């Protein structure tokens, strides 16, 4: 019989279906709050100015496309480490990092590294979460346990549920945390909550894996990394999966990094050897162009300044739309307090379908919205349309 006879059809990606329906809708006032990318006031996801400038420099001056190693562009990873982790943690002799194909590649590499550790840790993930989180760890053969992260009734972080679940974890288990701009809820951990988590994680000997995919799109570059840095300072071992795909708007270029903080300096090289070996087996080496762009920007003060200005404009636009939604209805007030692209509307599947049919508003059944899909005009229409369902 055929090698492939055992394969069955898989359900289509829920968001792709939403994109398809939105595209086919002829109504001119249609609104897409489904797709998870930043969009400007006109609905576009433009190439950032600093990225264009860096690309021009690369085109002019790049003199080889020769292979790099499995680590990718190490200077990119090192410059990015300072931005993400801050100088002190970045320069620690307990840290090592490699370039990866996006945040997804970083998570998968972290999962493979964990799977090769010779232990059999459980990976703890708060829900709801990015739909790819659980499958990435399962695909590496790890056991996953999910627990409450969000309290839908209060539209806030369910800290009690989180701490209760993690107090059942065993030493060496992995705790996956969103560094900032939680996807899909936008719910932010306070400094006190980060401290409570760090205390528990340190006391129980757990290993945090921080997924930082939106640095700079929440409160600011350093503010968005503060919780992660606090955690890294509190524990011996940690992993950080980073994506430049949103904050540099490089989505399809697949730009990420994975950092491992080891317990001791002498533990670093075996970890690094394992990372390079696993990377070689999976993708040999990461794609270069996007990382070369980020390196070019971070190496140059003018380009860095241009990038920071544009990133801060993006952040301000997201915050303004959030504020408008928050003012529109008391049930939406939490959206103004939260951060990043995403928020979860407290509505069911029927309401989602009805918004689509009656108002040409497109979102997945979960009620997750990308607030950057709205602009200063459509936000009012959107709020009025959603109101009856709240």
The residues that touch ligand PLP, with contacts defined as CB under 6 A, are 36, 102-104, 130, 178, 183, 211, 213, 243, 245, 256
Distance CA 115, CA 194 (A): 27
Phi-psi region of 254 (alpha: psi -120 to 50; beta: other; left: phi over 0): left
Q: Which neighbouring-strand residues pair with 176?
A: 125, 209
* 221-234 and 74-85 helices, crossing angle to 10°: 90
Shortest spacing between CB 367 and ligand PLP, in angstroms: 17
Active-site entry in 140, 213, 249, 360: 213
Distance CA 227, CA 2 (A): 51
- Dihedral pair phi/psi, residue 66, rounded to 5°: -60, 155
Secondary-structure breakdown of the chain: helix, strand, coil percentages, each rounded to the nearest 5: 50, 15, 35
Shortest spacing between CB 308 and ligand PLP, in angstroms: 20
Distance CA 355, CA 377 (A): 18
Active-site entry in 130, 194, 259, 307: 130
Shortest spacing between CB 103 and ligand PLP, in angstroms: 3
Q: Which neighbouring-strand residues pair with 370?
A: 342
370's CB contacts (< 8 A; 6+ apart) are 33, 34, 35, 36, 37, 39, 341, 342
Shortest spacing between CB 101 and ligand PLP, in angstroms: 7
Shortest spacing between CB 102 and ligand PLP, in angstroms: 3
Residue whose beta carbon is closest to ligand PLP: 102
Shortest spacing between CB 120 and ligand PLP, in angstroms: 24
Distance CA 369, CA 343 (A): 5
Active-site entry in 106, 224, 246, 343: 246
For residues 103 and 121, which CB has a smaller minimum distance to ligand PLP in the complex? 103
For residues 128 and 351, which CB has a smaller minimum distance to ligand PLP in the complex? 128
Helix (H) or strand (E) holding 203: helix 191-204
Write out the two tokens for 35. Answer: 């797709």
Give CA separation, 158 vs 138, 147, 151, 203, 210, in Å.
Answer: 25, 10, 5, 20, 18
For residues 268 and 343, which CB has a smaller minimum distance to ligand PLP in the complex? 343
213 is catalytic: yes
For residues 127 and 354, which CB has a smaller minimum distance to ligand PLP in the complex? 127
For residues 158 and 253, which CB has a smaller minimum distance to ligand PLP in the complex? 253
For residues 211 and 237, which CB has a smaller minimum distance to ligand PLP in the complex? 211
Residue with tokens 């993690």, as numbered in its chain: 166
Active-site entry in 158, 211, 224, 288: 211
Residues with active-site annotation:
130, 211, 213, 246
């Amino acid at each position: 019989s055929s090698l492939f006879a055992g394969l069955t059809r898989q359900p289509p990606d829920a968001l792709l279906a939403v994109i398809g329906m939105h595209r086919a809708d002829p109504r001119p006032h249609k609104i897409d709050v489904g797709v998870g990318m930043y969009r400007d006031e006109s609905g576009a996801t433009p190439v950032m100015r600093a990225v264009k400038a860096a690309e021009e420099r690369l085109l002019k001056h790049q003199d080889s496309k020769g292979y790099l190693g499995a680590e990718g562009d190490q200077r990119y990873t090192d410059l990015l480490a300072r931005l993400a982790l801050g100088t002190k943690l970045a320069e620690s002799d307990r840290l090592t990092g490699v370039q990866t194909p996006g945040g997804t590649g970083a998570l998968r590499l972290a999962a493979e590294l964990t799977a090769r550790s010779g232990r059999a840790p459980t990976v703890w993930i708060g829900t709801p979460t990015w739909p790819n989180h659980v499958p990435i760890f399962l695909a590496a053969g790890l056991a996953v346990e999910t627990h409450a992260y969000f309290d839908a009734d209060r539209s806030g972080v369910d800290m009690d549920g989180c701490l209760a679940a993690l107090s059942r974890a065993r030493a060496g288990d992995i705790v996956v945390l969103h560094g900032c701009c939680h996807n899909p809820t936008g719910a932010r951990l306070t400094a006190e909550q980060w401290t409570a988590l760090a205390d528990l994680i340190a006391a129980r000997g757990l290993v945090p894996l921080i997924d930082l995919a939106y640095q700079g799109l929440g409160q600011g570059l350093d503010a968005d990394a503060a919780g992660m840095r606090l955690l890294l300072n509190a524990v011996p071992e940690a992993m950080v999966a980073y994506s430049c795909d949103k904050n540099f708007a490089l989505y399809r270029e697949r730009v990420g990094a994975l950092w491992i903080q080891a317990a001791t300096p002498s533990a670093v090289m075996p970890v690094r050897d394992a990372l390079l070996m696993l990377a070689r087996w999976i993708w040999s080496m990461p794609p270069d162009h996007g990382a070369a762009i980020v390196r070019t920007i971070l190496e140059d003060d003018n380009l860095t300044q241009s990038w920071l200005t544009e990133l801060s404009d993006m952040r301000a636009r997201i915050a303004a739309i959030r504020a408008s939604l928050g003012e529109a209805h008391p049930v939406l007030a939490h959206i103004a307090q939260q951060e990043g692209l995403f928020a979860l509307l407290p509505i069911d599947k029927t309401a989602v379908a009805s918004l689509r049919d009656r108002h040409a508003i497109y979102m997945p059944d979960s009620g997750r919205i990308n607030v950057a899909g709205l602009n200063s005009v459509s936000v009012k229409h959107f709020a009025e349309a959603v109101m009856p369902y709240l």
